Structure 1
């Protein structure tokens, strides 16, 4: 595939850095150098912009990609040898659906060649195109969002109900989790329906109570869809939701870093910044910093996949009274992270999923953790 056909390149020399930025230490210096010398085959991370918002309930996010770049490329370069490329902005199709398929083609090609893709939108319904890139493989999706973007019975696709199409068209979707939702924005019937679809939701208060327990959701994910509306409006102007409640800026950056640290994460999309609602560009600056934390997390990745080398993991085999098979837990001796092994009801298919130390401690007390039940149900559905 000739990727250049799909993109309008960014004019990097015309990007105006912040007055405080030193260009030689900026991310722009790395991107400019790589643009001149690094082939796409040797790149590790690829940034693409897509100014598509025709299916958004509020227009204006089409202008976000270049505005975010201005602030992102003023930030620290992380590593002067960072193999990061910016392919530019995806040329839009005649319809929003055409843009979804173009995004799918590009992302599918890139992840098949081992690249991690960062998508700067545009509206969040572009998650449809990102999910299409996983059509031939099982995948897990995490949404960071103030509400559950699903509307039962809705026929047209918008930035508020794109999950309808993803649930309908992707039987290979292993898990979908919405992090940071706020209960007063989501009807209980929709949440009940989400449970029937084996979707999970984590309320903002629970997320804030113990952030470290959220990390396994992101470690398991292959696709991240980040809605800027999940951040409270005072810290992220430039959004149409404009709620006084939401994630703090630091929490948004921490979640992005967790996502970047995940070896499973292939595509991360950042959506719903509306520059014309952001006169002081605080929202654009925050989105840039969120993306920077994803990049910094990715640069800090540690390749550890249990069971792997026995010297790298502690193994714990826990027998329970209520299930026939013992549960195997793995703990990394390097990072302290935990995983558990699950098996479908036929005993023919195994999956190792991220978990927490609390999951292990519950099991050791002869209590089956919720994470085990939820993932067993998903696994049994998938293998049928």
Structure 2
């Protein structure tokens, strides 16, 4: 059982939790300690797990030892009006090989998925997304992955897996469970033209940093359709993270917290991970990651139960004639969120085998009314026909 490989939270971090005010998170959540052992998971909705593995990060000079600076900042925060139970399960330490760590992470994620418990992973290198993705192999066919990152991380699909090439392995290695990959926050000069062209050929989604600067709400439908969300913390600009190796341009603290909340409020998201945490993170950066976790949990608390969508109950339907087609939109009366229907195409090898609904925005509906087909709908339909 993968739980056997979880190491307790360090005594220093545990003591820090106990020193916090009575109603702080550190005194509300249950913590895996060497004295009390693993907490029971009955009735638990969410767990926090550190993954101390960064050997496949080509730029890592030292092994990540812990994520306790982030933990301590998280323990200091006060919970919102949350009606849920959270457990800090401690850390997965590196195995004899990276593949050993992958195996434990895959098995643990799979077990949590079956128990309907959402893990929040605090990790080293972002190639840890690959075993997390593989945890769905026997549970769910066709999943959507969202990567909040200045890079696509597709890399050389022929080369060994690394923190810069794990997405290429998702695309090329069997079983083929990746229906859609979406990137939020990429910066063109960090990505080769080969990677950019590959994403276009695969009809995957990519939203540039500048587009998010114009309107961060563009990311909400993308997050709403995600099963797994991974954040490379290097997507945050240096001025807001204060990390030594951060980039001068990137998302600001408010934007990354908004994206974390979108991920939490998504009824579909089952795994949330924050990766590339430095070996010695700054206090500012650690606090920002703690706040991202807080906003993810806050979003989860406001989930509306709209996945899968039942359009027969509480939804308004809009048919928009466009060219030789009719686009069907649905709007939730409860949340005001929008979806557009992807039709089942009987004469092709339809991957989804059914009508399905693609999250969208009111702006997509308005574009359709102006006789402009939304780009995400086009990509999703073409991908479905491949």
Scaled by the length of structure 2, the TM-score of the pair is 0.90
1:24 matched residue in structure 2? 22
Residues 148-187 of structure 1 aligned to structure 2 (within 5 Å)? 148-169=152-173, 170-187=175-192
2:364 matched residue in structure 1? 359
Change (3 A) 1:154 1:64: farther
1:375 matched residue in structure 2? 380
1:199 matched residue in structure 2? 204
2: CA distance, partners of 1:355 / 1:119: 28
Residues 287-366 of structure 1 aligned to structure 2 (within 5 Å)? 287-305=289-307, 307-308=309-310, 310-323=312-325, 326-346=326-346, 349-366=354-371
Give the paired residue count.
374
Greater shift, 210-219 or 23-32, is seen at 23-32
2:51 matched residue in structure 1? 50
2:4 matched residue in structure 1? 5
Q: Is the 8 A contact 1:220 1:353 kept in 2?
A: yes
**Within the alignment, does 1:265 sit opposite 2:269 as a pair?**
yes
Residue deviations 1:338-363, cap 9 Å, x none? 01110243275211111111111222
Q: Is the 8 A contact 1:238 1:275 kept in 2?
A: no
Greater shift, 334-343 or 254-263, is seen at 334-343
Residues 113-132 of structure 1 aligned to structure 2 (within 5 Å)? 113-132=115-134
2: CA distance, partners of 1:269 / 1:49: 10
2:217 matched residue in structure 1? 212
Change (3 A) 1:202 1:11: same
Q: Secondary structure at the match of 1:256?
A: helix
1: CA distance, partners of 2:58 / 2:321: 51
Greater shift, 148-157 or 336-345, is seen at 148-157
Residue deviations 1:224-261, cap 9 Å, x none? 11001000012113353x21100001101100000000
Q: Secondary structure at the match of 2:196?
A: helix
Residue deviations 1:8-38, cap 9 Å, x none? 121467435499x852121111113899796
Q: Is the 8 A contact 1:238 1:284 kept in 2?
A: no
Any stretches of 5+ residues in structure 1 without a counterpart?
none
Any stretches of 5+ residues in structure 2 without a counterpart?
348-352
2: CA distance, partners of 1:41 / 1:309: 32
Q: CA deviation at 1:154?
A: 4.6
Q: Secondary structure at the match of 2:185?
A: strand
The structure with more helix, counted as a fraction of residues: 1
Q: Is the 8 A contact 2:235 2:251 kept in 1?
A: yes
Q: Secondary structure at the match of 1:118?
A: strand
Q: Is the 8 A contact 2:17 2:75 kept in 1?
A: no
Q: Secondary structure at the match of 1:234?
A: helix
2: CA distance, partners of 1:27 / 1:127: 27
Change (3 A) 1:360 1:14: closer
Q: CA RMSD in A?
A: 2.4
2:260 matched residue in structure 1? 256
Change (3 A) 1:372 1:82: same
2: CA distance, partners of 1:196 / 1:31: 45
Q: Is the 8 A contact 1:124 1:227 kept in 2?
A: yes
Change (3 A) 1:321 1:144: same
Residues 235-254 of structure 1 aligned to structure 2 (within 5 Å)? 235-238=240-243, 240=245, 242-254=246-258
Change (3 A) 1:24 1:82: farther
Scaled by the length of structure 1, the TM-score of the pair is 0.90
1:88 matched residue in structure 2? 90
2: CA distance, partners of 1:296 / 1:124: 24
2:350 matched residue in structure 1? none
